Amino acid sequence: MGVKLYLDANTSQIGPNMIGYYSNFDKEIRCFIDLNDTTFKWASTICHEFSHAVSARKQTKAWLEYEALELTMEDIQIKKKLPPTLHKFRRAIIAMEHEAEQNAIKLMKRFSLSIDLAKYAQEANFVLIKYIFLCQHRTWPNFKHKDQESLVAQFPEHLMNKSDLVWSKLPNLLRVEMDELRIK
């Protein structure tokens, strides 16, 4: 497939607050490896980022719609650059990330990886909701670790349907809680 995999023991090669990424331009996956992590959480990150690489290679509809945005995740996460039409952006990002999450879970099952799939699904749902939050508030949510853990625990232990991944369909209490925690 021609994709290089880099496993980094420090975040300086990946970026602060990131655990991994796939670059279609460089054809590389970079993943942070915590050498003290006995849960091998990094294996799920590799599965997720590899799923992006497969989508790019196959030119799936979700990948092509994301590429058509002409924005990189760096533009969005670091440069805080957002497109004027957030509805199209939200739809494309959610479709691409949801596809990667579905395929990552399939990979974890296929290779019988020692990963808690229920916990992974909760975390994946939370990440997808953070993109929706971005579109709703035009900013990334910024939570303390303990707050984030309590929010993650409120999500289903299976990957949510794409059609349910909209701000208005989230439980009201969760929306309020995310808003309140963001501004603390």
Percent of the chain scoring above 70 in pLDDT: 78
Q: State whether the Cα torsion 122-119-149-140 is positive or negative.
A: negative
pLDDT of residue 161: 92
- What was the pLDDT predicted at 134? 78
- Number of separate domains in the chain: 1
Side chain identity at 182, as an amino acid letter?
Answer: R
Domain that holds residue 174: 4-183
Distance of CA 28 to the CA centre of its chain: 17
Sign for the pseudo-dihedral over CA of 145, 129, 110, 31? negative
**Res. 61 pLDDT band, cuts 50 70 90:** very high
Q: What is the pTM of this model?
A: 0.84
Give the pLDDT score at 137. Answer: 74
Instruction: Give the pLDDT mean for 75-85.
Output: 65
How would DSSP label each residue in 132-162? HHHHHHSS-----HHHHHHHHTTS-SSPPPG
| pLDDT tens column, 153-162 | 888 999 999 8
- CA-based angle 176:172:81, to the nearest 5? 60
Residue the block writes with tokens 């992974």:
120
Residue 79 pLDDT: 60
Q: Which amino acid does the sequence have at 149?
A: E
The pLDDT score that the predictor gives to residue 17 is: 52
In 10 A of CB 70, how many CB atoms? 8
Q: Is the dihedral of CA 89, 142, 147, 101 positive or negative?
A: positive
